[in-house]
Every structure is written in structure tokens, then in C-alpha cells.
Amino acid sequence: MLQVHHLSKSYNEAHVLKDIRFSVAQGEFFGILGPNGSGKSTLLKLLSGVEKASGGDIQINGEPIERYSRKQLSRFLAVLQQESLPPVNFTVKEIVEMGRYPYQNWLGEEKDDQSGIVDSILEKLRLVDLQDRSLQHLSGGERQRVALGKVMAQKPSLLLLDEPTTYLDIGYQIQMMDLIKTWQREEKLTVVAVLHDLNLASIYCDRMLMISQGEAISIGTPEEIMRSELIERVYGTTPIIVEHPVHKLPQIMLQGGIIE
């Protein structure tokens, strides 16, 4: 589905990404992890076609990304960011309907009536009761659910997530990740997610890429990445790794340096 070969990106003299290589299979949930400033967001901007690589290439479904027009890309690729909705006063339903834009002509019409798509998304995301409410009157967690609804209406086959749970409390974090995971499984969606939280990443990702200072340090399953020495090397802190009692996946416990 997605192949990245020898990808690099420089801004003037700064080499932000160096020789990044990985591939993601269809239906896979792939995480991108790394400390602040390691190049995660830059990598996602290259994968979404917003920025151009300085070297190497990205292939989606066997075609270099630059062969696709913006509108072609938006028919199979969607991006969900933190706080990604416009600050203007649309209703929940209007925002979800905006996800249909790639399929509309210049009059905003679609070939067939697609109102069923929007209604079923509102139902799935438990937004039916909120559909006529203005975005301004929603909580952060509800707004992010609306943003998810908009990208679902886009019907992508590749979803890029840029720290989608950053401003959410733990209840909304899990709700958001569960909604994405359910969608991914039902539609065989491919997900590439920049995630801040290593423990969430371990639970939801099939494989992950750890980057540090623009270089790929390791690629593998949660068990292969969530190792104390690797995390120490990248983040400069030594966590204790434990097995999640239910999911049986590695989880980190942080250790304070000055506590007896």
C-alpha cells in the first residue's frame, strides 16, 4: 500500500529526515514514534503530499505520490490532526458533510445521493443528538469525534493521524482510538499514526517506527520497540517495561530520578 524509499528532507542546512525506509501493508496500523523534534510531523507532511521530499520517494499503491493530484489524493487519503477543525461556526452535520467534498462537482453535487453515508457516520460516532449543534458549543472530545466523522465521510483507504489524542483526557483518548480501530478493522483501512503516548501505541499499533533526530532507529512490533534500552537511547530516560495484564502487550512505567 505504502512504500517509503531512502526518504530525506532538509530545510536549508538542517537535515530533518535522513534515509527513512519502511513499508506499510494494506489494513495495517502503523505507528510513528519519537521524541519532540525528531521529525515525525515532517514525515507525515511528506506522506500526505503537503510537503515535497528533498530525496528518495514515497509510493502509494505502486505510484509515486507526486503523480496524484490533490483531489485524487483526497479520494483515498485522509489526515486527522489534533484540533483540526476550523474555528468557524458550522454545525456538526455540516462539518461531516464537508468530508464528501472530494466526490463533489463544483456545484457541491454528487452523482448519487450520499446522505446515507453521513447519517450512518453520525450514528456510529454517537453524534446524532449533536448534529445540529454548532461546533463552538462542543467539548474538545466531541469536536475531535466530529473531525473523525469528517475524515470517515471522505471514505479513505489510507488514514494519516497526527497525534489525534493529544488534548484529550484518558476517557476520550481510549474512545477515539477504539473508534479508529473499529473503523480500521471493518473497512481494512490502512492507518499511519504519529502517536505521542508509547503505551497507547503499544496497544493499538501492529508495528511501529521509532525515529530520533531524523533517523530511523528501529522498526518492529510493540514487543520489539518497547524495550527499556531502546527507549533510554532515544528519550534519555530509563523506564520499567511491564506486560499489560489484559492485552499482554508491553507497557512502560516511568521512573522518577530523585524519588527514594
Extract the runs of DSSP E, i.e. beta strands, from 97-195: 158-162, 190-194
* Least CB distance to ligand ADP at residue 162 (A): 8
- Rounded distance between C-alpha atoms, residue 225 and residue 239, angstroms: 13
For ligand ADP, give the closer residue by CB, 34 or 222.
Answer: 34
Q: What is the DSSP letter of 196?
A: S
Shorter beta-carbon distance to ligand ADP: residue 44 or 168: 44
CB of 7 to ligand ADP, least distance (A): 13
Q: Name the β-bridge partners of 2.
A: 24, 60
Give, for 210, the enclosing helix (H) or strand (E).
Answer: strand 207-212
- Phi, then psi, of 64 in degrees rounded to 5: -60, 140
CB nearer ligand ADP, residue 99 or residue 164: 164
Which CB atom, from 14 or from 258, has the smaller least distance to ligand ADP?
14
Nearer to ligand ADP, 32 or 252 (CB): 32
Rounded distance between C-alpha atoms, residue 224 and residue 201, angstroms: 13
Residue 39 CB, shortest distance to ligand ADP, in Å, is: 4
The grid cell for 111 is 452523482
Instruction: Compose the 26-65 pattern: x for residues touching ligand ADP by CB under 6 A, - for all others.
Output: --------x-xxxxxxx-----------------------
Residue 16, interface with ligand ADP (CB under 6 A)?
yes
* Ranges within 110-129 binding ligand ADP (CB under 6 A): none
d(CA 191, CA 180): 9
Residues of this chain that interact with ligand ADP (CB under 6 A) are 11, 14, 16, 34, 36-42
